[in-house]
């Protein structure tokens, strides 16, 4: 109703906005921006009064609308009280207008601005403008500024040293740090670390240590080592919820244990600090203690089992889970063990499935992983098949474990829309991403009747499994429905391969006629997360006014390499920001992380005085904030991240004096630990890392060891410095080895043989590295056996998990002596790694899993086992691989597909098996594997990759065009190529 009123009557009746009043909060952003530009004080006050009822998008829309009448000259020529006179509305002007406010206007209207939601860009501008302009601010002024003080240039704040205001500044910065806000290194070092009370850690009172608890990770290992056990135990209630790194947590925990301040029966008091407890400490604990510890831990931090995303490291999680699931009573402890369910090996679950089924009402409410759910449902079918037929919706979160046959039965039993919708709603409520085979089953089954009327009911996750050849036939209405689903729940789109993303968006753009003329703001916003995936020829037509006014929004999206190049060119256009050499501080702030999209030859044209240390740090921090956010974490692959890392390195080394480009380059600086945290160790020269102070170097060794982009020459310099500080390799402690991470790659086999690899935390640090050569792997495996005084047959599951990639350092004869059960409990982790084992080693590993105490004969394995063992499926014997049925093939992970030796792949997989591949499996096939395939196998693969008419296409080995060459007459060749082009375009 509001939309109709605004569109039809507002232009004729200027009093309409006044009469609508609170109903303005129901107007859409598009309607708001389309309002006529007439404005008077009464209208402005009406908008201001109702702004607190509006969403941020609506407020920003009013800001854009207001910018039509509030020109730059109106702002610069406005009164000192302009902000107070205008009210809330002025806080939402686009930055291109907002940046014209003077320091005096900002200072006068600060209270108005602070009661509104300001973008980080505007906050930074206000801080820089006020604190950079005035040099006589009082303590009361900084109290007003509050957290804005943390966005100022540290040099501008240091002028207040030895004044009353300085203490307020320090309190403001401490407040920012305690809230977890990112701070540039100079701010941390000059305003926090140089605080006199932090110079002697042992002198801090327990209460003060509690207040400072969130700050302790920044203070580093050196500071933590100087705290006393009595201080730590007193502050434990505050410390146990702080996100320390594993090494920092281990320093605290070890100190408490060594002094007997904390005993094993008090582990539940550690909270998130449990990450610092050795696996060796956990193994002997009773079930009661482990359960109480898990319960306490889950209250402080979520336990996640993905690499680098878990509160407990893999060896600890495995040790606890396998121990607890060794007790039959575990089925009555599900609430307590829930945090570790998805980390629990399938082999630990299998003996308990009958008991779990008997407690189905509780079992069905837990967040199982896919293979666990499949195993439980399989047992349920054996015990009570009628339940599956009569009331399968009662399975709740076990629904992800249903087989395709069960789903088909229910779809066929009642084809009414209401029944189908119930099933689809049920599937959308599952706790994890649905397995590809299940989504494919739903689409294929619904394809037997017209499901497009139920498109909305599919949910974005299942809808995105519809073949592109089907999607391209959607009507405009159905395509709009799909578009809206993706915009509303974008994470499933971001999880698609880049090829599928671009093909899908291309079809949406074509059907909705967005591929001609300018790429408008309305079109861009309607696509949401998909907007940057339009074709280059469409993206380059993006309206520049929208581009300039919405940079904050645009910086939050995901871009391919080609789009990065287009964005870089746009930024330099005269109508946008013009040549880089003319950019100023405000421009750099507005551009933000987009700066790293510019080519290196353009980057070095930026005025050197603008590229201060603080500016460079903020650029790094802004990009990291995006990279670790919901979009960034799903956007970039390792190759794109590596390219960006090189660009960041170029920027830092160019403007901090390491690469001299002109006389304005700063003198080379020696990095502190604080600046390594805000930037990245790999961005610095090897010599600068080697010149760090001993304390700074030690505090940041763990960070350096985890940087995946450190080059060999950098790692070598760091390792050399480690030896100088800590002595010979044979004397390295377990904690030191755990911190080394990738730096250890520079050790020769002879040096590796001197390591004392006794504890799982040090072994896991070495096992996480995927780029060891064969000699290093062999040395490391032998060293683990010697250090732990174990034989290969004595390695338990947590030790095998810790070994990780080092498993490939075992001889085939040694692998054959591994304990079948222990290995089977470790494959949940090992199966996620791209193991570099030889074909013989992989065969030996997979044969161990066929023991009756493990998963049994291969021909009895279901989808659940293949999902569980991951890459180890690549080790199946040729004859077993050639006998795989559809249910088994569905469980093979794309990673496992990609590491099967080409000759074996071609010999083992029949074309009928290849035709059962999912798109994700098919796209994982490597060029080397493809070149080894026969024509008929290539045809089967092409049919999976490019859904088209259901008839065989015979391919030659020599690629043509799309990588496929047809062996037909010239007429057939032309016709079939045309068909392929129709499907793709």
Q: Once rounded to an integer, what is the mean pLDDT over residues 684-698?
A: 94
Query: In sequence order, which residues have a C-beta less than 8 Å from that of residue 441 and are 6 or more positions away?
Result: 404, 407, 408
List the Cα angle 829/830/833 in 5-degree steps.
100
Joined together, the tokens standing for residue 395 give 């399975």
Confidence of residue 20 (pLDDT cuts 50, 70, 90): low
Q: What percent of the chain has pLDDT over 90?
A: 69
Angle between helices 314-324 and 287-300 (to 10 degrees): 130
Q: Which range, 412-421, 452-461, 736-745, is most confident?
A: 736-745
Low-confidence winner among 97-106, 293-302, 357-366, 515-524 (lowest mean pLDDT):
293-302
CA separation for the pair 273, 2 (Å, rounded): 54
List the Cα angle 708/712/717 in 5-degree steps.
105
Q: What is the pLDDT of residue 11?
A: 46
The rounded Cα 265 to chain-centroid distance in angstroms is: 36
CB atoms within 10 A of CB 391: 9
Confidence of residue 609 (pLDDT cuts 50, 70, 90): very high
Residue with tokens 């240091």: 158
Confidence of residue 261 (pLDDT cuts 50, 70, 90): low
Query: In sequence order, which residues have a C-beta less than 8 Å from that of residue 135 and are 6 or more positions away?
Result: 159
Q: What is the pLDDT of residue 468?
A: 87
Which residue from 667, 665, 660, 720 is spatially nearest to 689, judged by alpha carbons?
720
Give the pLDDT confidence of 73-104 residue by residue, as tens digits: 999 999 999 999 999 999 999 999 999 999 99
Residue with tokens 């730059």: 72
Q: Once rounded to an integer, what is the mean pLDDT over residues 409-428?
A: 90
Q: What is the pLDDT of residue 666?
A: 54
On the question of pLDDT at 387 being above 90, the answer is no
The three-class DSSP label of residue 325 is coil
On the question of pLDDT at 633 being above 80, the answer is yes
Q: What is the pLDDT of residue 179?
A: 86
Are the beta carbons of 418 and 411 closer than 8 angstroms? Answer: no
CB atoms within 10 A of CB 337: 23
Residue 410: half-sphere exposure toward Cβ, Cα within 13 Å = 26
CA separation for the pair 183, 109 (Å, rounded): 26
CA separation for the pair 256, 239 (Å, rounded): 13
Q: Give 384-399 as a DSSP string.
A: -HHHHHH-GGGGGGGG
Joined together, the tokens standing for residue 336 give 């307590």
Confidence of residue 13 (pLDDT cuts 50, 70, 90): very low
Confidence of residue 275 (pLDDT cuts 50, 70, 90): confident
CA separation for the pair 453, 458 (Å, rounded): 10
CA separation for the pair 675, 787 (Å, rounded): 37
Q: What is the pLDDT of residue 945?
A: 87
- DSSP at 668: P
Q: Strand ranges (DSSP E) for 193-233?
A: none
CA separation for the pair 397, 304 (Å, rounded): 18
Q: What is the pLDDT of residue 386?
A: 85
Joined together, the tokens standing for residue 133 give 């302009």
Low-confidence winner among 51-60, 620-629, 950-959 (lowest mean pLDDT):
950-959
Better pLDDT: 956 or 860: 860
Q: What is the pLDDT of residue 69?
A: 85
Q: What is the pLDDT of residue 210?
A: 92
Are the beta carbons of 557 and 529 closer than 8 angstroms? Answer: yes
The mean pLDDT value of the chain amounts to: 88
The rounded Cα 183 to chain-centroid distance in angstroms is: 22
Give the pLDDT confidence of 839-864 residue by residue, as tens digits: 999 999 999 999 999 999 999 999 99
Low-confidence winner among 82-86, 545-549, 974-978 (lowest mean pLDDT):
974-978
Joined together, the tokens standing for residue 975 give 């016709």
On the question of pLDDT at 1 being above 90, the answer is no
Q: Once rounded to an integer, what is the mean pLDDT over residues 365-389?
A: 93
User: Could you tell me the maximum CA-CA distance found in the chain, to the nearest angstrom?
Assistant: 89
Q: What is the pLDDT of residue 17?
A: 56
């Amino acid at each position: 109703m509001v939309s109709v009123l605004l569109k039809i009557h507002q232009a004729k009746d200027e009093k309409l906005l006044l009469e609508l009043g609170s109903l303005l909060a129901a107007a859409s952003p598009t309607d708001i921006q389309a309002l006529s530009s007439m404005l008077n004080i009464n209208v402005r006050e009406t908008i201001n009064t109702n702004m607190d009822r509006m969403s941020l998008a609506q407020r920003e829309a009013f800001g854009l609308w207001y910018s039509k009448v509030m020109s730059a000259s109106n702002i610069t020529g406005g009164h000192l009280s302009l902000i107070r006179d205008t009210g809330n509305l002025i806080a939402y002007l686009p930055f291109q207008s907002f940046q014209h406010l003077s320091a005096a206007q900002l200072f006068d209207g600060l209270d108005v601005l602070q009661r509104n939601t300001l973008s980080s860009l505007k906050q930074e501008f206000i801080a820089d403008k006020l604190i950079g302009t005035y040099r006589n601010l009082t303590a009361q002024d900084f109290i007003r500024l509050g957290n804005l003080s943390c966005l100022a240039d540290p040099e501008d704040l240091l002028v207040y040293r030895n004044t009353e205001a300085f203490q307020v500044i320090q309190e403001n910065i401490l407040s920012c740090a305690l809230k977890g806000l990112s701070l540039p290194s100079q701010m941390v070092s000059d305003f926090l670390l140089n605080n006199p009370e932090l110079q002697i850690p042992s002198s801090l009172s327990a209460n003060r240590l509690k207040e400072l608890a969130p700050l302790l990770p920044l203070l580093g290992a050196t500071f933590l080592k100087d705290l006393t056990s009595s201080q730590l135990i007193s502050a434990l209630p505050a410390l146990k919820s702080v996100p320390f790194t594993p090494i920092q947590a281990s320093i605290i925990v070890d100190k408490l244990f060594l002094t007997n301040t904390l005993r094993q029966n008090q582990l539940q008091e550690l909270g998130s600090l449990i990450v610092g407890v050795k696996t060796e400490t956990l193994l002997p604990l009773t079930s009661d203690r482990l359960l109480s510890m898990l319960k306490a831990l889950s209250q402080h931090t979520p336990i996640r089992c993905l690499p680098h995303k878990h509160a407990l490291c893999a060896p600890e999680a495995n040790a606890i889970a396998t121990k607890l699931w060794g007790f039959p009573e575990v089925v009555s402890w599900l609430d307590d063990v829930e945090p570790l369910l998805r980390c629990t090996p399938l082999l630990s679950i299998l003996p308990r499935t009958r008991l779990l089924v008997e407690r189905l009402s509780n079992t069905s409410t837990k967040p199982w992983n896919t293979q666990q759910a499949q195993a439980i449902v399989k047992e349920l079918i054996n015990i009570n098949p009628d339940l599956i037929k009569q009331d399968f919706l009662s399975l709740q979160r076990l629904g992800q474990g249903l087989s395709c046959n069960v789903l088909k039965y229910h779809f066929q039993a009642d084809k009414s829309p209401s029944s189908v919708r119930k099933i689809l709603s049920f599937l959308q409520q599952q706790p994890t991403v649905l397995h590809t085979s299940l989504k494919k089953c739903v689409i294929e089954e619904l394809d037997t009747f017209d499901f497009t009327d139920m498109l909305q009911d599919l949910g974005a996750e299942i809808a995105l499994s519809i073949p592109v050849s089907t999607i391209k036939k959607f009507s405009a209405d159905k395509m709009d429905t799909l578009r809206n689903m993706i915009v509303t729940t974008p994470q499933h789109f971001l999880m698609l391969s880049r090829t599928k993303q671009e093909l899908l968006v291309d079809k949406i753009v074509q059907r909705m006629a967005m591929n001609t003329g300018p790429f408008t703001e309305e079109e861009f916003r309607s696509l949401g997360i998909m907007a940057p995936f339009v074709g280059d020829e469409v993206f380059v037509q993006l309206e520049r006014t929208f581009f300039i006014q919405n940079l904050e929004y645009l910086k939050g999206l995901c871009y391919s390499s080609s789009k990065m190049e287009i964005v870089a060119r746009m930024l330099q256009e005269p109508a946008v920001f013009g040549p880089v050499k003319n950019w100023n501080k405000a421009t750099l702030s507005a551009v933000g992380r987009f700066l790293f999209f510019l080519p290196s030859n353009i980057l070095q044209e930026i005025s050197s005085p603008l590229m201060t240390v603080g500016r460079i740090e903020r650029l790094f921090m802004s990009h990291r904030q995006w990279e670790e956010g919901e979009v960034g974490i799903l956007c970039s692959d390792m190759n794109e991240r590596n390219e960006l890392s090189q660009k960041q390195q170029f920027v830092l080394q160019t403007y901090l004096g390491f690469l001299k480009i002109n006389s304005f380059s700063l003198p080379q600086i020696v990095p502190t630990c604080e600046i390594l945290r805000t930037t990245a160790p790999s961005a610095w020269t090897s010599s600068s890392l080697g010149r760090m102070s001993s304390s700074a170097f030690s505090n940041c060794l763990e960070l350096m060891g985890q940087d995946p982009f450190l080059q060999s020459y950098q790692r070598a310099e760091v390792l050399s410095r480690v030896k100088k500080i800590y002595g010979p390799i044979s004397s390295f402690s377990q904690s030191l080895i755990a911190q080394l991470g990738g730096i250890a790659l520079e050790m020769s086999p002879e040096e590796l043989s001197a390591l004392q690899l006794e504890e799982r935390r040090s072994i896991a640090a070495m096992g996480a590295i995927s780029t060891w050569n064969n000699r290093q792997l062999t040395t490391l495996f032998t060293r683990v056996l010697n250090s732990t005084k174990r034989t290969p047959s004595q390695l338990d599951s947590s030790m095998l998990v810790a070994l990780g990639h080092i498993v490939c350092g075992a001889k085939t004869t040694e692998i054959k002596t591994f304990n079948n059960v222990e290995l089977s409990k470790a494959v949940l982790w090992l199966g996620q790694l791209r193991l570099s084992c030889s074909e013989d080693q992989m065969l030996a590993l997979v044969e161990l899993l066929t023991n009756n105490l493990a998963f049994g004969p291969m021909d009895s394995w279901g989808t659940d086992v293949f999902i569980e063992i991951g890459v180890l499926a690549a080790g199946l014997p040729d004859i077993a691989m050639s006998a795989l049925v559809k249910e088994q093939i569905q469980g093979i992970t794309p990673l496992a597909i990609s590491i099967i030796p080409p000759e074996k792949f071609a010999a083992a997989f029949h074309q009928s098996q290849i035709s059962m591949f999912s798109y994700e499996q098919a796209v994982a096939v490597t060029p080397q594997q493809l070149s080894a395939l026969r024509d008929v196998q290539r045809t089967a693969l092409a049919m999976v990759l490019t859904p088209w008419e259901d008839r065989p296409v015979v391919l030659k080995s020599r690629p043509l065009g799309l990588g496929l060459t047809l062996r037909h007459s010239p007429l057939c060749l032309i016709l079939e190529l045309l068909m392929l082009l129709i499907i793709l375009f």
